[in-house]
Amino acid sequence: GQNIDQPTEMTATEGAIVQINCTYQTSGFNGLFWYQQHAGEAPTFLSYNVLDGLEEKGRFSSFLSRSKGYSYLLLKELQMKDSASYLCAVTRNYGGATNKLIFGTGTLLAVQP
């Protein structure tokens, strides 16, 4: 089976750093995505990890440990506009060239002044 766990909600202060954790259990793991979704909008791509380690992209970084089934998204210098849901998604091979994206329930981040 597959299981993806993230905290439901988090609160942080503008200018601070926040880390959103994601643990997963799945067979046929192929990589892990983080998506951002503002209320009433579509999910948008933030980052992708397939190998262990840290991927940095501006204020956002994502880490993966395949052996531990663990990832985190790190957001630095938080801005009010970062208030959104952050979705952890595991990509799993479905056969051939088909990869299936399995989403966690998302973490709703509220950034306060």
> What span, in angstroms and rounded, lies between the C-alpha atoms of 56 and 7?
22
For 97: left if phi > 0, alpha if psi spans -120 to 50, otherwise beta; the answer is alpha
- Cβ–Cβ < 8 Å for 24, 32: yes
From candidates 45, 52, 56, 65, binder to other proteins by CB under 8 A: 45
**Which H/E stretch holds residue 48?**
strand 44-49
| CB 95, min distance to other proteins, A | 8
Shorter beta-carbon distance to other proteins: residue 31 or 74: 31
Q: Which stretch binds other proteins (CB under 8 A): 14-22, 63-71, 75-83, 103-111?
A: 103-111
Number of amino acids touching other proteins (CB under 8 A)? 29
> What span, in angstroms and rounded, lies between the C-alpha atoms of 64 and 22?
9
Q: Which stretch binds other proteins (CB under 8 A): 13-21, 32-40, 65-73, 76-84?
A: 32-40
From candidates 42, 58, 67, 113, binder to other proteins by CB under 8 A: 42
